Chains A and B, each alone.
Chain A
Amino acid sequence: MIKKHHSDIKPSEITDKETYLNRRQFLQGGAALALGLGLPGCDASEPKLAAPPPASSRKKLASTKNGAFSINEAQTSYKDITRYNNFYEFSTDKAGPAKLSKAFVTRPWTLTVDGEVSKPQTFDIEDILKSFPLEERIYRLRCVEAWSMVIPWIGFPLADLIKKTDPTSRAKYVAFETLYDPKQMPGQQTGLFGSGLKWPYVEGLRIDEAMHPLTLLSVGLYGEVLANQNGAPIRLVVPWKYGFKSIKSIVKITLLEKQPPTTWNISAPREYGFYSNVNPKVPHPRWSQARERRIGEFSKRKTLMFNGYADQVTSLYTGMDLKKFY
Chain B
Amino acid sequence: MISRSEFIIHWVKPTLFILALLPLANLLWDGYTDALGAEPIEAISQRSGDWILRFLLLTLTITPLRRISGWNELARLRRMLGLFAFFYACLHFLNYLVLDQGLDLAFIMEDVIEHKYVLIGFSSFLLLIPLALTSTKAMIRRLGGRRWQKLHRLIYLISIGGVVHYYWLVKSDIREPLLYAFLLTVLLGYRWYHHRSRTMSGAAQNGQINPALQNIVGANSFAHKGNSAKDN
Question: Which residues on A are within 8 Å of B, measured CB to CB?
Answer: 23-24, 27-28, 30-32, 34-35, 37, 39-40, 46, 79-80, 83-84, 88, 92, 94-95, 145, 147, 193, 195-197, 264, 267-268, 283, 286-288, 291, 293, 295-296, 298-300
Contacts and interface: CB of A to CB of B under 8 A. Distances in A.
B203 interface: no
A94 B37 contact: yes
Contacts of B178: 193
A31 B114 contact: no
B220 interface: no
B67 interface: no
A196 B178 CA distance: 13
Nearest to B176: A92
A23 B29 contact: no
Interface of B: 27-34, 36-42, 99, 102, 107, 110-111, 114-117, 168-169, 171-175, 178
Given A268-B172, A286-B168, A286-B169, A35 B115 contact: no
A128 B53 CA distance: 50
A40 B31 CA distance: 11
Given A23-B40, A295-B38, A288 B115 contact: yes
Nearest to A77: B38
A286 B34 CA distance: 30
A92 B173 contact: yes
A200 to B, nearest CB: 16
A27 B40 contact: yes
A35 B32 contact: yes
5 contacts: A24-B36, A27-B40, A145-B171, A283-B114, A291-B107
A83 B38 contact: yes
Given A27-B31, A30-B31, A286-B115, A195 B37 contact: no
A92 B171 CA distance: 10
A184 to B, nearest CB: 20
A93 to B, nearest CB: 9
Report which residue of B29, B39, B111, B175 has the largest number of chain A beta carbons within 10 angstroms of its beta carbon. B39
Given A196-B172, A299-B102, A288 B110 contact: yes
Contacts of A197: 172
Majority SS of interface residues in chain B? helix
Contacts of B168: 286
A99 B78 CA distance: 38
Contacts of B111: 288
B172 A28 contact: no
Nearest to A46: B34
Contacts of A286: 115-117, 168-169
B31 A94 contact: no
A253 to B, nearest CB: 25
Contact of A24 (B34, B114, B173): B34
A147 B38 CA distance: 11
Contacts of B174: 196
A293 B43 CA distance: 14
A35 B39 contact: no
B39 A295 contact: yes
A300 B110 CA distance: 15
Contacts of B37: 83-84, 94-95
Nearest to B101: A300
A147 B39 contact: yes
Nearest to A85: B38
A28 B28 contact: no
Contacts of A84: 37-39
B34 A28 contact: yes
Report which residue of A27, A79, A95 has the largest number of chain B beta carbons within 10 angstroms of its beta carbon. A27
Given A23-B41, A84-B37, A84-B38, A35 B29 contact: yes
Contacts of A291: 107
A267 B172 contact: yes
A31 B47 CA distance: 15
A227 B107 CA distance: 37
